[in-house]
Amino acid sequence: MTSCTPQEAPSSSSSKVNLLQLATTCIYSTLLASQPIQQFKTNSRTKHDGSLVTDADGAAQAIIYSQIKKYNVKIVGEESELEMQRESYQEYQDLQLLQHVEQIMNLHSSMEIEDSEKVAVIVDPLDGTSAYAKGNYEAVTILVAIIVENIPVFGVICKPFRVGTDIPSFDHSGCSVIYGGTLLNGAFVMTGLEEYNDDDDKSQPQEQNQHQEHYYPLGRMELIRSKLHKQEQLLLEEHEETTSQQQQQQHSDSSSIENYKAYRRQMKRPSPTCIAEGVSSSSDGHTSASSLLSTDTSITIMPLTQNNHQRMDSSSSIPSPPITTVNSPPLSEQKSLNDSLTSSILNTPTISENSEIIYDDPPLLRAIISKSKGGGVVQQCIDSLASKQLIHSDPLYITGAGYKTMKLVLGEQNEGLWFFPKPGTSLWDVAAADALLRVMGGRITDGFGKNLDYSKGRLEADNKDGIIACCDEKLHQICLELYEKESWGDE
End-to-end CA distance of the chain: give it in Å, rounded: 36
Residue 120 has pLDDT above 90, yes or no: yes
Number of domains observed in the structure of the chain:
2
| 427 or 56, higher pLDDT | 427
| CA–CA separation, 175 and 312 (whole Å) | 8
**pLDDT at position 42 over 80:** no
> Would you state the pLDDT for residue 259?
83
Decide if 351 is inside a domain: no
Residue 184 is labelled as binding a ligand: no
What is the rounded distance in angstroms from the CA atom of residue 296 to the CA atom of residue 24? 25
> What single DSSP character describes residue 169?
P
Over residues 140-196, the pLDDT tens digits come to 999 999 999 999 999 999 999 987 777 878 888 889 999 999 999 999 999 876 554
pLDDT, position 163: 79
Instruction: Calculate Rg over the CA atoms of the chain.
Output: 23
97-114 average pLDDT score: 91
Q: How confident is the model at residue 2 (pLDDT cuts 50, 70, 90)?
A: very low
Within a domain: 148: yes
What does the pLDDT average to over 246-268?
64
Q: What pLDDT, on a 0 to 100 scale, did the predictor assign at position 16?
A: 94
- Was 490 annotated as part of a binding site? no
Last residue of a domain, one of 213, 243, 261: 213
Last residue of a domain, one of 165, 183, 213: 213
Residue 280 lies in a domain: no
Instruction: Give a yes or no: residue 237 inside a domain.
Output: no
In a domain, 252, yes or no: no
Q: What is the mean pLDDT of the chain?
A: 74
- Of 190, 213, 236, the residue that ends a domain is 213
| Span 186-245, pLDDT tens digits | 999 998 765 544 444 444 434 444 444 445 678 888 888 888 888 778 777 776 655 544
Cβ atoms of residues 417 and 475 within 8 Å? yes
Whether 300 maps to a domain, the answer reads no
Domain that holds residue 394: 366-486
**Angle value at C-alpha 7, between 6 and 11, nearest 5 degrees:** 85
Mean pLDDT of 1-17: 51
The pLDDT value recorded for residue 256 is: 83
SS3 123: strand
| Torsion from C-alpha of 371, 375, 380, 382, nearest 10 degrees | 10
360 among annotated binding-site residues: no
Q: Does 126 carry a binding-site annotation?
A: yes
CATH number, domain at 125? 3.30.540.10
Q: How many percent of the chain have pLDDT more than 70? A: 64
In a domain, 315, yes or no: no
Q: Mind listing the pLDDT tens digit for each residue in 321-375? A: 333 323 333 334 333 333 333 333 455 556 666 666 665 667 889 999 998 877 8
pTM comes to 0.77
pLDDT for position 25: 97
Which pLDDT score, from 0 to 100, does residue 325 have?
A: 27
**What DSSP line would sit under 298-349, residue for residue?**
T-EE--TT--------TT---PPPPGGG-----HHHHHHHHHT---TTS---
As a whole number, mean pLDDT of residues 410-423 equals: 92
Q: What is the CATH number of the domain that holds 377?
A: 3.40.190.80
The response to whether 127 counts as a known ligand-binding position is yes
Q: How many residues does the chain have?
A: 491
322 in a structural domain: no
pLDDT tens readout for residues 289-318: 222 222 223 333 333 333 323 222 333 333
